[in-house]
Amino acid sequence: MFTGIITDVGTVRSVDRPSDVRIAIETRFDTATIPLGASIACSGPCLTVVEKGPGWFAVNVSTETLSKTTLGDWRPRQRINLERSLRVGDELGGHLVSGHVDGVATLVSRRPEAGSVRMTFAAPASLARYIAPKGAVAIDGTSLTVNEVDGVNFGVNIIPHTLQVTTFGDLQPGARVNIEVDVLARYVDRLRQMA
């Protein structure tokens, strides 16, 4: 589990495609404290550390993950949001994020709004019903509050701090992002269907 509070912006070091994709990622995390088999959210998806060295770690990405995320688009030198897994007793500053990405959304527009940036995203139609005003959503692993919803489009406000400590400052209209809807919304919908 994760909180959606990004603690490092890493850089893709290499992408190898033997069978499953293997991605090496440079990080400021102290990799000596990361055990093999640890989970790290990499711009949303929870991935398992399979190799590491000073200042870097590597993960394998399955075909299933590639089909549901933007990871197949990643190239060397690309910046990505990183968060180590939540430990019992850690502060839950965002919302509970599983690292199980539901799909890919697209940035429709971005515009300044006071000192922040208002971004509007288009969610896949199958996920739009889980996104509600003032609800939570994780975009590229970042916990955000939904401001408004209009059909499949929804808006979020990105404060200056978030722009500086995540990859949101890099996003331009047309960008594809990983989206994870709030798990509570999924369960409520499932219970409603069964009633």
Query: Does residue 70 share a domain with residue 147?
Result: no
Query: Does residue 62 share a domain with residue 22?
Result: yes
3 domain-assigned: no
| pLDDT confidence bin for 2, thresholds 50/70/90 | very high
Query: SS3 letters for the chain?
Result: CECCCCCEEEEEEEEECCCCEEEEEECCCCHHHCCCCCEEEECCCEEEEEEEECCEEEEEECHHHHHHCCHHHCCCCCEEEEEECCCCCCCCCCCCECCCCCEEEEEEEEEEECCEEEEEEECCHHHHCCCCCCCEEEECCEEEEEEEEECCEEEEEECHHHHHHCCHHHCCCCCEEEEEECHHHHHHHHHHHHC
* Residue-range definition of the domain harbouring residue 49: 8-84
Question: According to the model, what pLDDT value does residue 37 have?
Answer: 97
CATH code of the domain in which 58 resides: 2.40.30.20
97 domain-assigned: no
32 domain-assigned: yes
Query: Does residue 110 share a domain with residue 61?
Result: no
Question: According to the model, what pLDDT value does residue 187 have?
Answer: 67
Instruction: Find the mean pLDDT for residues 161-183.
Output: 95
Question: According to the model, what pLDDT value does residue 177 have?
Answer: 98
Per residue in 32-58, pLDDT (tens digit) is: 999 999 999 999 999 999 999 999 999
Query: Does residue 112 share a domain with residue 61?
Result: no
Query: Does residue 72 share a domain with residue 123?
Result: no
Q: How many domains does the chain have?
A: 2
